[in-house]
């Protein structure tokens, strides 16, 4: 079927966590037949029985019209798939999905991260695992899963290099309260969504140490400069970083303890260890893994990212929180535009 004639009536969502469940509800509200795939059969059974994802999105009723499965083969009839597995598991998840993918069905990458081992962006990992020529898109932006699940107004970026497919996806997923804005800047949309998780951990440390709103605002602003430097080096457009998947997502994630990454940073700032915090959680704070990947990528490209490097040092290299903060504060003064 020609791309311009497509209408995606059946949507599959790959990933039964909070964000996957919320996106399944968004697709259902947009009038699509929606199938949610979850890896754990126990989660699927609980959703069927209770019409609630109590493990990952408690308190949100799931309509009877939302189908759920733990069998990837059931996704074979879907016109488009939303990929919502954790970033570090996206490549193997796509490899398992590949035999069941409907020919020509686009995949919309909703995971935010950079692969640790390869420093690949999510679209590069997916392209390596799915059949050649599979249409790809990126969905990113300022989104808390619980708010999307409850139908509160939300705007996102949908990035797709094929304008006809991108437009069809916007029409398939968009509704009064879930509003995708289309761009073709696939790289910019991904860098904003990935790096903001690392910066949110830094802002959480500021919150935990009670350094005040001035310090948090400074981190957000200088963090945006780091995102922009890396994105431009990879060929993104600067206006993308000023949009929903850049500034919008950064502002949300760095301003509320609803953010998994900011709340993790706050716990570290209060003196808790990373192992303690992660041991209490089922949900994934992507910034923990993205910190190491983005610092390695930046080093390879010759891009300076001191805030991200500081977060990586605390998370992955045993650096003291206080000494790392002092190191940032002791950096030489410089022109703001650099």
* Whether the Cβ atoms of residue 202 and residue 307 lie closer than 8 Å to each other: yes
d(CA 149, CA 158): 18
Catalytic site residue 102? no
d(CA 292, CA 289): 6
* Whether the Cβ atoms of residue 160 and residue 137 lie closer than 8 Å to each other: yes
Distances (CA, A) of 228 to 16, 120, 121, 168, 189: 32, 18, 16, 29, 11
* Whether the Cβ atoms of residue 136 and residue 186 lie closer than 8 Å to each other: yes
* Whether the Cβ atoms of residue 287 and residue 249 lie closer than 8 Å to each other: no
d(CA 196, CA 192): 6
- The residue with tokens 């989660």 is 43
Catalytic entry in 102, 112, 196, 210: 196
| Token digits of residue 197 | 């998780």
CA atoms 189, 191, 193, 199: torsion sign: negative
- The residue with tokens 């000023």 is 242
Nearby residues of 81 by Cβ (< 8 Å), 6 or more positions away: 11, 12, 13, 14, 75, 97, 101, 105, 106, 107, 108
* Whether the Cβ atoms of residue 130 and residue 94 lie closer than 8 Å to each other: yes
Residues, the chain, total? 338
Q: How many CA atoms lie within 13 A of 333 on its CB side?
A: 0
Residue 214: how many CB atoms within 10 A of its CB? 9
Catalytic residues: 196
């Amino acid at each position: 079927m020609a791309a311009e004639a497509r209408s995606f009536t059946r949507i599959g969502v790959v990933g039964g966590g909070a964000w996957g469940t919320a996106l399944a509800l968004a697709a259902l509200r947009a009038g699509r037949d929606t199938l949610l795939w979850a890896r754990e059969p126990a989660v699927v059974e609980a959703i069927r029985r209770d019409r609630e994802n109590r493990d990952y999105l408690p308190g949100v009723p799931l309509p009877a019209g939302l189908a759920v499965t733990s069998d990837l083969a059931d996704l074979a009839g879907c016109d488009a798939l939303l990929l919502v597995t954790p970033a570090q598991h996206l490549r193997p998840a796509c490899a398992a999905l590949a035999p069941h993918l409907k020919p020509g069905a686009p995949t919309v990458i909703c995971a935010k991260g950079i692969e640790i081992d390869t420093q690949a962006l999510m679209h590069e990992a997916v392209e390596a695992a799915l059949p050649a020529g599979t249409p790809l898109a990126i969905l990113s932006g300022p989104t808390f899963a619980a708010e999307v699940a409850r139908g509160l107004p939300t705007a996102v970026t949908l990035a797709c290099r094929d304008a006809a497919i991108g437009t069809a996806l916007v029409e398939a997923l968009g509704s009064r309260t879930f509003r995708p804005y289309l761009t073709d800047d696939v790289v910019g949309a991904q860098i904003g969504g990935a790096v903001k998780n690392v910066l949110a951990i830094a802002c959480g440390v500021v919150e935990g140490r009670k350094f005040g709103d001035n310090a948090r605002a400074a981190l957000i602003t200088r963090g945006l400069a780091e995102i922009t430097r890396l994105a431009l080096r990879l060929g993104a457009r600067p206006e993308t970083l000023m949009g929903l998947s850049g500034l919008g997502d950064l502002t949300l994630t760095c301003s509320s303890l609803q953010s998994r990454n900011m709340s993790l940073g706050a716990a570290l700032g209060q003196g808790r260890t990373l192992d303690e915090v992660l041991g209490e959680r089922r949900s994934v704070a992507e910034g923990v893994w993205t910190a190491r990947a983005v610092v390695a990528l930046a080093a390879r490209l010759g891009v300076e990212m001191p805030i991200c490097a500081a977060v990586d040092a605390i998370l992955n290299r045993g650096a003291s929180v206080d000494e790392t903060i002092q190191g940032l504060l002791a950096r030489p003064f410089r022109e703001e535009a650099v």
